[in-house]
Amino acid sequence: MKVLVIGGGAREHALCRSLSLDPDVTALHCAPGNAGIAQVAEMHEVDALDGTAVAALATRLGVGLVVVGPEAPLVAGVADAVRGAGIPCFGPSKEAAQLEGSKAFAKDVMAAAGVPTARSYVCTTEAEAEEALDAFGPPYVVKDDGLAAGKGVVVTDDLAAAKAHALACERVVIEEFLDGPEVSLFAITDGETVLPLTPAQDFKRALDGDEGPNTGGMGAYSPLPWADPKLVDEVMTTVLQPTVDELRRRGTPFSGLLYAGLAITSRGVRVIEFNARFGDPETQVVLARLRTPLASVLLNAAQGTLDTEPPLRWRDEAAVTVVIASHNYPGTPRTGDPIEGLDEVAEQDAPDAYVLHAGTRMDGDAVVSAGGRVLSVTATGQDLAQARERAYAAVARVRLDGSQHRTDIAAAAAEAAAR
């Protein structure tokens, strides 16, 4: 099977890496890709938001499957354009991707499906926002209704800051604060059958100890030694299947990757958000643990035949990924800095640790930074402690001027597992 992956982040590098190891995949293409993806896939230039251009590229390459990585092309309807050209596509329609594209839409679907989530108000005026903030009290949770690359959410005890964020957005969702650890659970679905992946945890804040601003995600690990073994079954029954069923009932079936961002509160599991695509950086650790070859699973989801797929198989090993970000991320990042040490990781740490590229590009023979999140250093091990050790040993070999990374990814979980 020939496959085209759309996107150019560490998530797409992880997808391309898994697909490149799948014996069913005879040719692997990626657009627009990055400097790391270029080592495992043939690269093409395309405007990822232009469905007609993506469909034309897929047709020209003669691929049997297109996998759309990021949310923006999905919300722009790229999967519809590819399917319109008669090519199977892994990724939801424009309408179903509203589950991520509009937080108000997601709340409406959850209410209709009886899915547990934070109580919320959708506000369009200053008076409504003030009333909602007042009703919930601190900590305040204020979310831009639309797509904001993980940066549209403000959680704060400061009423003035909460109001300011609400005013800066056209439409906001103001909701009840959920406390408790967060879990990301992904499921692959064809719109009817739902196949859960394995849970992971992401680190959203920029700094150690969950301090600093929200980011796209600074690291992740899997499995979660502290989680209830029944968690996946529970989330399947209370969240994933009802949501997929509700979207099908509305005539806008969701096929692709349904990402449930969950809070494990004292009153039970609650949905914090849905995304309509693989999470980044969680995908890096989830795919590191997946034993089942990926291509046929994605193709079966794209073709509505996921019921023929046997249960997924997982490795016993643990996986940890640590994001190396540019100077000033999540503010406007500095780019164009050379990255050194990548060969050393390939020589000394592979296959237990490897570097997945996010914002990188080639500048002559040099790999340089080209975005906020630059690299996602991923490692596996017999447990979280070993995976963590290997990941940080590889991180230490990478040199990027002004770069930052968290030093506490999976630290608490590794300790909990050891006890």
Q: Is 83 helix (H, G, I), strand (E, B) or coil?
A: helix
Q: Distance (Å, rounded) from C-alpha 250 to C-alpha 239?
A: 17
| Contacts (CB under 6 A) with ligand GLY, residues 205-244 | 217
Please list, in sequence order, all residues whose beta carbon lies within 8 angstroms of the beta carbon of residue 265, skipping any fewer than 6 positions away.
178, 179, 180
> Per rule CB under 6 A, is residue 279 in the interface with ligand GLY?
yes
Q: Which of 376, 391, 261, 263 is nearest to 318 (CA)?
A: 391
| Contacts (CB under 6 A) with ligand AMP, residues 233-272 | 261, 272
> Per rule CB under 6 A, is residue 284 in the interface with ligand GLY?
no
Place of tokens 């000033």: 328
**H or E stretch including 61?**
helix 51-61
Q: What are 154's two structure tokens?
A: 């403000």
- CB nearer to ligand AMP: give 139 or 304: 139
> Per rule CB under 6 A, is residue 133 in the interface with ligand AMP?
no
Beta strands 373-381 and 318-325 are: antiparallel
- CB nearer to ligand AMP: give 182 or 363: 182
Minimal distance in Å, beta carbon 321 to ligand GLY? 11
Minimal distance in Å, beta carbon 182 to ligand AMP? 6
| Contacts (CB under 6 A) with ligand GLY, residues 137-156 | 150
Q: Which does 282 bind (CB under 5 to 8 A by kind): ligand GLY, ligand AMP, none?
A: ligand GLY
Q: Which stretch binds ligand GLY (CB under 6 A): 75-83, 188-196, 231-239, 279-287?
A: 279-287
Q: What are 327's two structure tokens?
A: 């100077």
Annotate each residue in 190-209 with x if it binds ligand GLY (CB under 6 A) or - if it does not, as one string: ------------x-------
Q: Distance (Å, rounded) from C-alpha 324 to C-alpha 207?
A: 12
Q: Which stretch binds ligand GLY (CB under 6 A): 43-51, 248-256, 273-281, 350-358?
A: 273-281
Q: Distance (Å, rounded) from C-alpha 120 to C-alpha 110?
A: 12
Please give the residue whose beta carbon sits closest to ligand AMP in the complex: 273
Please list, in sequence order, all residues whose beta carbon lies within 8 angstroms of the beta carbon of residue 108, skipping any fewer than 6 positions away.
none
Beta strands 194-196 and 201-202 are: unpaired
> Per rule CB under 6 A, is residue 150 in the interface with ligand AMP?
yes
Q: Distance (Å, rounded) from C-alpha 34 to C-alpha 386?
A: 29
Give yes or no for a contact between 218 and 406, defined as CB atoms under 8 angstroms apart.
Answer: yes
> Per rule CB under 6 A, is residue 182 in the interface with ligand AMP?
yes
Please list, in sequence order, all residues whose beta carbon lies within 8 angstroms of the beta carbon of residue 168, skipping any fewer than 6 positions away.
none
Q: Which does 288 bind (CB under 5 to 8 A by kind): ligand AMP, ligand GLY, none?
A: none
Q: Which stretch binds ligand GLY (CB under 6 A): 28-36, 132-140, 272-280, 350-358?
A: 272-280
- CB nearer to ligand AMP: give 105 or 177: 177
Q: Which does 217 bind (CB under 5 to 8 A by kind): ligand AMP, ligand GLY, none?
A: ligand GLY
Give yes or no for a contact between 238 and 116, defined as CB atoms under 8 angstroms apart.
Answer: yes
- CB nearer to ligand GLY: give 11 or 165: 11
C-alpha distances in angstroms, 214 versus 114, 119, 156, 331? Answer: 29, 22, 11, 10
| Contacts (CB under 6 A) with ligand AMP, residues 162-181 | 175, 177-178
Q: Distance (Å, rounded) from C-alpha 333 to C-alpha 353?
A: 26
Please list, in sequence order, all residues whose beta carbon lies within 8 angstroms of the beta carbon of residue 107, skipping any fewer than 6 positions away.
117, 120, 122, 173
Annotate each residue in 83-122 with x if it binds ligand AMP (CB under 6 A) or - if it does not, as one string: -----------------------------------x----
> Per rule CB under 6 A, is residue 337 in the interface with ligand AMP?
no
Q: Which residues bind ligand AMP (CB under 6 A)?
A: 118, 141, 143, 150, 153, 155, 175, 177-178, 182, 204, 214, 261, 272-273
Q: Which residues bind ligand GLY (CB under 6 A)?
A: 150, 202, 217, 275, 279-280, 282
